[in-house]
A and B are shown apart, each in its own frame.
Chain A
Amino acid sequence: MTESDLENLTIAESSARIKSGELSPVKLTDLFLQRIARLNPSLNAYTTVRADSAKAEAKIAEQQIRSGNYRSPLHGIPISIKDNLATIRVPTTGGSKILVDWKPDFDATVVAKLKEAGVIILGKTNMHEWALGGTTINPFFGTTRNPWDLARVPGGSSGGSATAVAAAMCLASIGTDSAGSVRNPAAMCGIVGLKPTYGRISCFGGVPGTGAYSTNHFGVLTRTVKDCALVLQEIAGYDPKDPLSAAEPTDVYSAKIGQEIGHLKAGLIGSYYDKLMFGKVEQIFAAALKQLELLGMKTEQLSIPHMDATPAVHTVVSRAEIVSDHDHYLRTRARDYSPELLYRHIHALMFPAGSYVTAQRVRRLIAEEFERAFERVDVIITPVSIPAPKIEECGRGVTDVDGEKVSLRDARGSTWGLSTVPFNVTGHPAISVCCGFTSAEQPVGLQIVGRPFEESTVLQVAASYEQAAGWYRRKPRLGGIGR
């Protein structure tokens, strides 16, 4: 195996070969570290690379597997972790200047579970400052580049994770998603990004202030849906350290992958999403729906009467909750935030308290409307609307999608967040899977949303679509970088 072979490698394939002894975790880790050394100076996906520690972990994994102590399908698999998840004795910055020197003395629960499963942690990935934005243009740690076009952002806030997976600088990454921060970068980088049901994965050990209590989720970024299921299996479940984690039993997440989806019905919310499709995205989304229909799925238009209020609910709830976490630093180190983020926090300090409660009451109204909608359908299908903008376009606030000028933000937040935030508000599981490319060769994501705790169905539909459409086979061309 050579470094370029990593581009087509998946966890599912690797783990079988690792288990049989055909593939050495030490060799695999070395190849990933070589690739990171070659690509990271250009892509800036990682803020910390744990080369020596990763090699040591790989040696231990190899010895354990050889001695018959095979722990899980993730044993010996090299992965990365977003830099707002606590990792013991490893820098955990939250993408901020304020935490630049912080090395936690504990692991986030998800990190501890992954270590127990036997993963090799290659390093920590770059992110938007405090996870509060969707570009991964980070004033302190630099801009992460999109592997499909280095002049473009990878999305965010888990942009380093998405780039690392798409560029084959790891086999999976763990991100966080408070407004679409797993699904949007996954869409923009042409990979798979899953935000499970609210509470399905423990958020213990997430850097406070990098996601709102009501809307934050930890999620998984991988190159295939099957891989996503394998990672979710190891990290899902109740955690007494996280009072918001769910006691609902876990499932066998890969059990339905490969099963037919012809008996399932998909809901569409055209009244909301039709306004969010720009350039060729509408055409690409229509083709994806056609593919699902060819697989036997029926579709139905749904009515969610207060859907248009989801961005307002999200903005008011999340900003009010997040600013509470930042109160200490706002009083002591206000000028260590980027100016934009400081102004946003100060604005949040001025939100009327009653509006927060009203927003949470509207949130219940919307959740009930979705509950009724899910009595009629098994999943909801939407686009993840905006392909990756160019870095310079983010400064101007306007992007070009196939010749159409699109504003990147308004008072509700980023335009791309509008397609994902509804399911941060409701907590439903949602996945993004690649469904095509724009005329500028930029990936577009298809969002598949399921009933609470029905990740297995979401993964089943996503895997069926992925295999039928075949977009996952297309890879960014990175051969000329760093040679």
Chain B
Amino acid sequence: MKEWLQKLDREYGFQLTEAEMDRILNEVKAAEPLFQQLNAIDVRSKTPFVRLDIKGAKK
């Protein structure tokens, strides 16, 4: 992860300090459960929901 962050830092020219990189990496680590939660859900029959394609409000 740190190498990836360093690559982004170079590409975008952020000039992040070590402390800033540590903070971002901590956020990355803290967010891991979100991705794990999504990846654990069976979505094999589901297409992405990219707009509200309402069929008509049901009464």
Contacts and interface: CB of A to CB of B under 8 A. Distances in A.
Q: Which of A339, A344, A358, A454 has the most CB of B within 10 A?
A: A358
Contact of A364 (B24, B27, B30, B48): B48
Interface stretch (A164-172, A271-279, A349-357): A349-357
Contacts of B27: 343-344, 347, 411
A309 interface: yes
A334 B33 contact: no
A220 interface: no
Nearest to A371: B58
A358 B38 contact: yes
A94 B10 CA distance: 28
Nearest to A340: B23
Contacts of A367: 49
Contact of A350 (B5, B38, B51): B5
B43 A454 contact: no
A311 B37 CA distance: 10
Dominant SS among interface residues on chain A = helix
What class of interface size applies to chain A in its complex with B?
35 or more
A316 interface: yes
Contact of B8 (A244, A350, A454): A350
A309 B16 CA distance: 32
Interface in A201-229: 214
Given A199-B52, A364-B46, A427-B52, A346 B24 contact: yes
A362 B58 contact: no
Contacts, number: 112
Nearest to B35: A355
Interface in B23-59: 23-24, 27-28, 30-31, 33-35, 37-39, 41, 43, 46-52, 54, 57-58
30 contacts: A198-B51, A246-B52, A309-B37, A309-B38, A309-B41, A312-B35, A312-B37, A315-B31, A316-B34, A334-B12, A343-B20, A343-B27, A344-B27, A347-B27, A347-B31, A349-B12, A350-B28, A355-B39, A360-B49, A360-B50, A361-B43, A361-B47, A363-B48, A364-B47, A367-B49, A374-B58, A411-B31, A427-B52, A452-B52, A453-B57
Given A214-B50, A347-B24, A374-B58, 13 more contacts: A197-B54, A309-B37, A312-B38, A316-B34, A330-B12, A343-B24, A346-B14, A357-B48, A358-B39, A360-B50, A361-B43, A364-B48, A411-B27
Q: Which 6 A-B pairs have the closest CB atoms?
A: A360-B48, A364-B49, A361-B43, A427-B52, A363-B49, A312-B34
Interface of A: 197-199, 214, 244, 246, 248, 306, 308-309, 311-313, 315-316, 330-331, 334, 339, 342-344, 346-347, 349-350, 352, 355, 357-365, 367, 371, 374-375, 410-412, 427, 451-454
